[in-house]
């Protein structure tokens, strides 16, 4: 498996990287760290690239290289890669397919990749996920409405939004179960994460009316049996109310919400927004959206 | 499929908006007092401004679109439009971009550093003054990006030599970076070669038959406005950013040692400086007869002929797309003038001002300054002059003063990173926050506007009487 974690700066991306490496570890996945920076305005781009060339002779690198070097050191600290491994050479860069890759020493080339891109974040992440076959994209934030909706709509991999993550906290999982096709994948994904984190799962099925349809009940039953077979501690709830509000209230700040992607038509989802999108915007905890 | 279409539409929303708006305007009735050609030129201008600001398509594509639309809208034949794409201002933009590469490649940054440190010593405020004044003076002749490209690595190395984390020396970092950027911005209007917008304005004034601004005459008009801002600007910087330390003993010592390793000036470097002095003399004494752009191109030829720079280097590092875009925008500016659209816009603005501009002459200059300052903080200086210049020199006041005001006020891009090449370069380090620009920028904007108004009211009228 291959996971992609997006970082933007050494200040704001630490938690994203920490949880990203943990999840990648759980799935024994390769991890690509991508830095997406703001591009210089095209009219003034020439001056910027001239300056960046001049700065190299003073051993000053592109800010993205510094962030990726920091990410590499952090991954060593988290022991995602061997801490004894040698440091990165910031001048060892390879440009391909509109992106720049910092070459990782020795054998870690496959386990981690460090990539630098510039441009619109959604567009760059979409290009990266289309360039290599990733299963999960891990991003920070989740509170900027437009960006969040675009990521949910246009990135084809599963998504983990690292929102209000406390590295010291003990997280449980809240699995949202409904009749969408992606629910089964969400259940399996949730099971793997629960085993790795050695934590319990709270199965929540929410309906706007008091009546829960047969398809909802069937999906919930399938999820319960799956977790039981996997010997994962779990509890199950059927709650009436607005689904997004129910999930957020039940999750509080000590759960990671796991949910499948919406089954809504893309145009309707674009105009109205989706249940996962609403949940993510309201949530006070990390959210995994499984596609 | 639907998802792909949605995604494309979202990514290209400004392109779609520009074309839809263009189509809508095309089918609306023409406003009175404006020729059909003038109206179509305005439509193209609106579309081009949207595309430049949004960057919905690569800039060279916008440059190409201008030519296509001018011919399709019947504003000129293919040959006429092609001719309007080549002018001395375009030659100057092309030449100055290549000269910047040629000069930066000579490794003169180390010499410049030693010179600055020799003048300033180790005190932080003295170093700040050194960066501010040197960048201001040099930029007035060479262009912002050349000087910032050479001095920014020095400033950053100095900060890093303190051995502290970037976050712990934010005050020092901001002080030095903004001294460099704002010094360059102020310097950029000092001479015609300080920025492409100055060359564009000279071209507009000459083409309109208003006046031929020689290199020296421009300096006489603009340099006092620049000099008066040296003490004020330096003072404002010290008031805005508080460095975490008073002296940089260790950092300066380390920097001197680093620079010292490069050895004495090489013959190539001496030749590079000599050639630049030659180009400068050419600008001063020959630009009036052969054109500022031709002098710049001659300079590039000399750098290539002497082997100081390789063509492959120039070819790789010169942003040809920008040349194409500016060629298009200048051509559009000339169309605005020739079709009467610029005059129509100017007259309507005068009417909106409701007689104030006729009663108080200074109001028209304030309007020019205000609009130029606003637009430059969104669109970049040269594009601002290229689009607004033809309108402003038709405002009814003295065209030379209005032209100079437009060119100088188009340098006041202090508030955003996109307002100037220097601002964009320091922002690209990733070490500053957008509100740093606002924090220092509003003070510099007010200072520069006040200095320019003083020149308009007292100094320039006196010059015109001479």
Binary contact (B104, A54; C-beta < 8 A): yes
Binary contact (A44, B383; C-beta < 8 A): no
- Cβ atoms of B189 and B222 closer than 8 Å: yes
Residues of chain A with CATH 3.40.50.620: 2-140
Please report residues of A whose CB lies closer than 8 A to that of B176.
Answer: none
For residue range B326-343, list pLDDT tens digits in order: 999 999 999 998 999 998
Confidence of residue A266 (pLDDT cuts 50, 70, 90): confident
Confidence of residue A196 (pLDDT cuts 50, 70, 90): confident
Mean pLDDT of B252-268: 85
Which residue range is the domain that position B143 belongs to? 28-465
Binary contact (B431, A63; C-beta < 8 A): yes
Surface of B (265-324) touching A: CB under 8 A = 317-319, 321-322
Residues of chain A with CATH 3.40.50.12370: 172-290
Confidence of residue A107 (pLDDT cuts 50, 70, 90): low
Q: What is the mean pLDDT of chain A?
A: 87
Smallest CA–CA distance, residue B5 to chain A, in Å, is 10
Query: Per the structure, how many domains does chain B have?
Result: 1
Q: Is A40 on the interface with B (CB under 8 A)?
A: yes
Mean pLDDT of B184-191: 96
- Return d(Cα B215, Cα B191) in angstroms, integer: 7
Among chain A residues, the shortest Cα distance to B104 is held by A54
Q: What is the mean pLDDT of chain B?
A: 92
Mean pLDDT of B236-255: 92
- Cβ atoms of B386 and B333 closer than 8 Å: yes
Residue among A1, A44, A43, A9 nearest A25 (CA): A1
- The minimal CB distance from A50 to the residues B7, B55, B317 is found for B317
For residue range B342-370, list pLDDT tens digits in order: 989 988 888 887 777 777 788 889 999 99
Give the pairing type, strands A255-260 and A287-290.
Answer: parallel
Mean pLDDT of A253-259: 89
pLDDT at residue A168 in the model: 80
Confidence of residue A15 (pLDDT cuts 50, 70, 90): confident
Q: Is B366 exposed, middle or buried (0-12, 13-18, 19+ CB in 10 A)?
A: buried
pLDDT at B23 over 90: yes
- Return d(Cα A275, Cα A233) in angstroms, integer: 26
What is the SS3 assignment for chain B? CHHHHHHHHHHCHHHHHHHHHHHHHHHCCCCCCCCHHHHHHHHHHHHHHHHHHHCCCCHHHHHHHHHHHHHHCCCCCHHHHHHHCCCHHHHHHHHHHHHHHHHHCCCCHHHHHHHHHHHHCCEHHHHHHHHHHHHHHHHHHHCHHHHHHHHHHHHHHHHHCCCCCHHHHHHHHHHHHHHHHHHHHHHCCCCHHHCHHHHHHHHHHHHCCCCCCCHHHHHHHHHHHHHCHHHHHHHHHHHHCCCCCCECHHHHHHHHHHHHCCCCCCHHHHHHHHHHHHHHHHHHHHHHHHCHHHHHHHHHHHHHHCCCCCHHHHHHHCCHHHHHHHHHHHHHHHHHHHCCHHHHHHHHHHHHCCCHHHHCHHHHHHHHHHHHHHHHHHHCHHHHHHHHHHHHCCCCCCHHHHHHHHHHHCCCCCCCHHHCHHHHHHHCCCCCCHHHHHHHHHHHHHHHHHHHHHHHHHHHHHHHHC
Confidence of residue B272 (pLDDT cuts 50, 70, 90): very high
Confidence of residue B125 (pLDDT cuts 50, 70, 90): very high
Binary contact (B156, A55; C-beta < 8 A): yes
For residue range B101-124, list pLDDT tens digits in order: 999 988 888 888 888 888 898 999
For residue range B200-223, list pLDDT tens digits in order: 999 999 988 878 889 999 999 999
pLDDT at residue B186 in the model: 97
Please report residues of A whose CB lies closer than 8 A to that of B156.
Answer: 55, 58, 60
ipTM of the modeled complex: 0.88
Surface of A (6-25) touching B: CB under 8 A = 9, 11
Binary contact (A48, B428; C-beta < 8 A): yes
For residue range A70-79, list pLDDT tens digits in order: 999 999 888 8
Residue predicted with more confidence, A50 or B380 = A50
Q: Tell me, yes or no, whether B422 lies in a domain.
A: yes
What is the SS3 assignment for A114-177? EEEEECCHHHHHHHHHHHCCCCEEEEECCCCHHHHHHHHHHCCCEEEEECCCCCCCCCEEEEEC
Residue B123 tokens read as 């005190």
Among chain B residues, the shortest Cα distance to A51 is held by B149
Residue % of chain B over a pLDDT of 70:
100
Q: Tell me, yes or no, whether B15 lies in a domain.
A: no
Of A148-157, A179-188, B393-402, B406-415, highest mean pLDDT: B406-415
Residue among A237, A173, A234, A251 nearest A207 (CA): A237
Q: Specify the CATH number of the domain A2-140.
A: 3.40.50.620
Confidence of residue A169 (pLDDT cuts 50, 70, 90): confident
- Cβ atoms of A74 and A14 closer than 8 Å: yes
Taking the CA atoms of residue B343, residue B345, residue B346 and residue B347 in that order, the dihedral angle to the nearest 10 degrees is 90
pLDDT at A291 over 80: yes
pLDDT at B416 over 80: yes
Distant-in-sequence, close-in-space partners of A33: CB < 8 Å, separation ≥ 6: A5, A7, A17, A20, A68, A71, A72, A75, A112, A113, A114, A115
Residue % of chain A over a pLDDT of 90:
22
Mean pLDDT of B16-40: 93
A201: which strand partners? A173, A234
CB atoms within 10 A of CB A214: 8
pLDDT at residue A143 in the model: 67
Q: Specify the CATH number of the domain A172-290.
A: 3.40.50.12370
């Amino acid at each position: 498996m291959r996971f992609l974690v997006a970082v933007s700066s050494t200040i704001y991306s630490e938690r994203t990287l920490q949880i990203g490496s943990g999840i990648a570890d759980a799935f024994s996945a390769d991890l690509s760290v991508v830095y997406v920076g703001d591009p210089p305005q095209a009219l003034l781009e020439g001056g910027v690239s001239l300056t960046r060339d001049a700065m190299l002779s003073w051993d000053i690198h592109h800010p993205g290289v510094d962030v990726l070097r920091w990410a590499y050191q952090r991954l060593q600290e988290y022991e995602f890669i061997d801490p004894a491994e040698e440091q990165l050479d910031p001048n060892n860069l390879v440009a391909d397919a509109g992106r720049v890759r910092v070459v990782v020493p020795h054998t870690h080339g496959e386990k981690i990749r460090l990539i630098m891109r510039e441009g619109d974040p959604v567009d760059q992440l979409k290009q990266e996920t289309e360039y290599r076959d990733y299963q999960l994209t891990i991003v920070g934030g989740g509170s900027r409405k437009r960006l969040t909706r675009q990521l949910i709509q246009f990135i084809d991999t599963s998504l983990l939004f690292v929102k209000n993550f406390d590295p010291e906290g003990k997280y449980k999982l809240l699995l949202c179960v409904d009749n969408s096709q992606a629910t089964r994948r969400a259940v399996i994904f949730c099971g793997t994460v629960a085993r790795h984190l050695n934590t319990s799962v709270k199965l929540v099925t929410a309906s706007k009316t008091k009546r829960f349809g047969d398809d909802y009940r069937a999906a919930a039953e399938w999820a319960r049996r799956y977790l039981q077979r996997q010997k994962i501690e779990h509890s199950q709830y059927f709650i009436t109310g607005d689904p997004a509000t129910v999930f957020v209230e039940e999750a509080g700040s000590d759960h990671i919400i796991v949910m499948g992607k919406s089954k809504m038509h893309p145009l309707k989802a674009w105009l109205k927004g989706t249940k996962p999108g609403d949940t993510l915007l309201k949530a006070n905890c990390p959210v995994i959206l499984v596609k | 499929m639907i998802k792909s279409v949605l995604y494309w539409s979202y990514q290209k929303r400004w392109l779609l908006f520009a074309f839809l708006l263009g189509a809508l305007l095309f089918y609306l009735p023409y406003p009175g007092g404006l020729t059909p050609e003038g109206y179509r030129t305005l439509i193209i201008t609106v579309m081009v401004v949207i595309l430049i600001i949004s960057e919905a398509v690569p800039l060279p594509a916008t440059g190409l679109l201008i030519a296509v639309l001018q011919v399709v809208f019947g504003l000129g034949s293919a040959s006429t439009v092609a001719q309007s794409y080549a002018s001395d201002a375009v030659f100057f933009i092309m030449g100055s971009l290549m000269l910047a590469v040629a000069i930066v490649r000579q490794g003169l940054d180390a010499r410049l550093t030693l010179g600055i440190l020799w003048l300033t010593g180790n005190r932080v405020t003295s170093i700040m003054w050194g960066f501010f004044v040197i960048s201001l003076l040099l930029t007035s002749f060479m262009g912002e990006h050349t000087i910032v490209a050479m001095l920014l690595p020095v400033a950053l190395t100095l900060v890093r030599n303190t051995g502290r984390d970037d976050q712990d020396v934010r005050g020092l970092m901001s002080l030095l970076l903004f001294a460099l950027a704002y010094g360059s911005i102020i310097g950029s209007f000092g001479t015609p070669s300080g920025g492409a917008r100055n060359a564009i304005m000279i071209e507009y004034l000459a083409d309109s038959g208003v006046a031929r601004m020689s290199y020296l005459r421009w300096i006489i008009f603009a340099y006092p406005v620049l000099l008066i801002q040296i003490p004020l600007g330096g003072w404002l910087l010290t008031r805005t950013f508080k460095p975490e330390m008073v002296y940089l003993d260790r950092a300066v010592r380390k920097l001197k040692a680093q620079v010292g390793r490069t050895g004495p000036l090489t013959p190539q470097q001496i030749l590079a400086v000599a050639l630049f002095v030659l180009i400068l003399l050419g600008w001063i004494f020959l630009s009036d007869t052969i054109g500022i752009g031709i002098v710049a191109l001659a300079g590039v030829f000399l750098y290539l002929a002497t082997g100081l720079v390789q063509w492959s280097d120039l070819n790789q590092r010169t942003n040809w797309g920008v040349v194409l875009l500016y060629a298009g925008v200048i051509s559009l500016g000339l169309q605005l003038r020739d079709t009467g659209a610029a005059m129509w816009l100017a007259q309507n603005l005068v009417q909106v001002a409701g007689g104030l501009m006729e009663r108080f002459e200074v109001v028209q200059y304030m309007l020019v300054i205000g609009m130029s300052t606003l637009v430059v903080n969104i669109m970049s200086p040269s594009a601002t002059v290229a689009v607004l210049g033809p309108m402003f020199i038709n405002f009814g006041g003295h065209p030379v003063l209005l032209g100079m005001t437009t060119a100088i006020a188009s340098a006041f891009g202090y508030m955003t990173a996109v307002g100037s090449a220097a601002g964009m370069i320091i922002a690209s380090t990733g070490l500053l926050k957008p509100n740093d620009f606002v924090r220092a920028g509003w003070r510099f904007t007010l200072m520069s506007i006040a200095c320019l108004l003083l020149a308009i009211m007292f100094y320039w009228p006196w010059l015109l009487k001479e």
